[in-house]
A and B are shown apart, each in its own frame.
Chain A
Amino acid sequence: MNDFAQSVQTAIALIVHADAVLLHTVALSLAVSGVACALASGFGLFAGAWLAVARFPGHRALVMLINTLLALPSVVVGLAVYLLLSRSGPLGEWGILFTPSAMVIAQTILVFPVVAALSRQLVGDGLRDGGDQLRSMGASPLTCALLMLVHDRWAVVTLLLTAFGRAIAEVGAVMIVGGNIAGSTRVMTTAIALETSKGDLPLALALGLVLLAVVGAINALIALVQRGGHRGSALAGVR
């Protein structure tokens, strides 16, 4: 217990004194997960909206596949991206294995199904309520779906924050494709794993605290967004 208390004390000191290694690791984590989420959101929201309205042979199978990929293990993504980007892999000539770019690719693949599956569900539910009205006004099916994303924008923000939470908290994929290289590809989760195995508990704990703080901030944001959404629903219930 004393060791734990001492570790917490040291961790707080590292945070308060803005330790350079700590700051770099946190900044890289935020940057990699932020870019990955931005990319996954761009593709995922569009794919989700499209899947909500498109009808083609194999549509149901594709939806099932994307829903299944919600539970995609991050190490599997890491392994697949590693095989793609390794020297002998099809994208080996890009030469980006063990760089932040590779980590962004892995996290984008990891988060894309989350954004696509949940936004498809969101748009589908919205269209059951207002799809006919929008079609009546001349909107094409895809325009209806994209308007539904605007209509449910608070739920979309919640969805994207959830996706960011999944990205920043994952360790398997970035460990495999990033290599956990100090000062280059070391992010919070991989650093925690490494420092714990080395026995440097204060740094691991400090990083753990920062990670918790980031996830806590995301949860607080989600709660705020949901409160905003509920307020909107309550107002809508007036009529």
Chain B
Amino acid sequence: MSAHTMKGTPLLAVADVSVRFGDAQALHGVSLQIASGESIALVGANGSGKTTLLRLLHGLVAHRGERRVLDPQARQVMVFQRPFMLRLSVWNNLRVALWLAGVPRAQHAARATEALQRVGLSHLRGRPARALSGGEAQRLALARAWVVQPQLLFLDEPTASLDPTAKKEVESLLEGFSRDGITLVMSTHNLGQAKRLATRVVYLDRGEVRVDLPVAEFFGEEIDGRAGLFLKGELSWTLE
């Protein structure tokens, strides 16, 4: 089911894409287009292919089919479910991100300072990044993504295993990013979060896109089949 119409500038598209891991078919015949200004939530049961689709969109997975970056100037970054931090200070993790993004050294200090202020970690700039709590680490991961000024941000379960307060903080940051014009594509198990943050919801089932609708329609309409059962909570979170 797809009633989605593009509004912004197309940034990225995949067409009839499939991904296999050995004998397992992780994605099958997926087609999707992402436009600027969207906030897309990928939902579905465990093992439905959400993370694989995110990684595919970001260009981290070998695949069959077509993946086209429609705006080569658009910088894209991914925040992983368990963000990997280098064994360096919070500050130096940001500096490495800026260096890798090719940002001139003269801008590093100002941009890193601004990023830390934005996520509320200024007081922890000298702390080893791997000594941060889960919520702090996720905020640092968001700061590290934001500091390079991406146009497209992929997020894999950005609030999984966080406590309610940390979840709220992360959601609030994501709302801010979205308001700033950053296009968000996130996988989530949390339908409430999808409702709050997304403008478009893509439902995956067994590696295929079954539903792709604007958020109001996804949650407002009677959806048939497994997607409907999933929405009602009558479908297991894991594949059956």
**Are the CB atoms of A137 and B77 closer together than 8 Å?**
yes
4-57 of chain B: CB within 8 A of chain A: 55
CB of B77 within 8 A of CB of A239, answer no
- Cross-chain pair count, CB within 8 angstroms: 62
- How many interface residues does B have (CB within 8 Å)? 27
In the bound complex, do residue B84 and residue A129 qualify as a contact, i.e. CB atoms below 8 Å apart? Answer: yes
- CB of B230, distance to nearest CB on chain A (Å): 28
Query: Could you tell me the distance between the alpha carbons of A130 and B137 in the complex, rounded to whole angstroms?
Result: 14
- B84 and A130 form a contact (CB under 8 A): yes
Asked whether, in the complex, the Cβ of A153 is within 8 Å of the Cβ of B80, the reply is no
B138 CB to nearest A CB, Å: 9
- Contact between chains at A143 and B130 (CB < 8 Å): no
A138 and B101 contacting across the interface, CB-CB below 8 Å:
yes
B102 interface residue, CB < 8 Å from A? yes
Contact mask for chain B residues 131-168; partner A; CB cutoff 8 A; 1 contact, 0 none: 11110110000001000100000100000000000000
A152, B84: Cβ atoms under 8 Å? no
Pick the contact of A132: B55, B128, B133 (CB < 8 A). Answer: B55
Q: Which of A135, A138, A239 contacts B137 (CB 8 A)?
A: A239
Stretch at the interface among A23-31, A195-203, A230-238: A230-238
| B97-A137 in contact (CB<8A) | yes
Main secondary structure on chain B at its contact with chain A? mixed
Residue A76 at the chain B interface, CB threshold 8 Å: no
**A239/B78 contact (C-beta < 8 A), A132-B55, A147-B96, A151-B86 known:** no
Contacts of B154 in A (CB 8 A): 136
Chain A interface size, under 10 / 10 to 19 / 20 to 34 / 35 or more: 20 to 34
Name the residue among A134, A143, A152, A239 with the largest chain B CB count within 10 angstroms: A239
Contact with A along B62-86 (1 / 0, CB 8 A): 0000000000000001101001101
- CA gap between A151 and B136 in the complex, in Å: 20
Complex: chain B residue closest to A233, CB-CB: B130
Of B77, B87, B101, the residue contacting A153 (CB under 8 A) is B87
Binding site for B on A (CB under 8 A): 129-130, 132-139, 143, 147, 150-153, 232, 235-236, 238-239
B residues apposed to A, CB below 8 Å: 55, 58, 60, 77-78, 80, 83-84, 86-88, 96-97, 100-102, 128, 130-134, 136-137, 144, 148, 154
29 pairs, A vs B, C-beta closer than 8 Å: A129-B84, A130-B86, A132-B60, A132-B78, A133-B83, A133-B84, A136-B77, A136-B78, A136-B80, A137-B97, A137-B101, A137-B144, A138-B102, A138-B148, A139-B100, A147-B96, A151-B86, A151-B88, A153-B87, A232-B128, A232-B130, A235-B128, A235-B130, A236-B130, A236-B131, A238-B133, A239-B130, A239-B132, A239-B133
In order of increasing CB-CB distance, the 4 nearest A-B pairs are: A130-B84, A236-B130, A133-B84, A235-B131
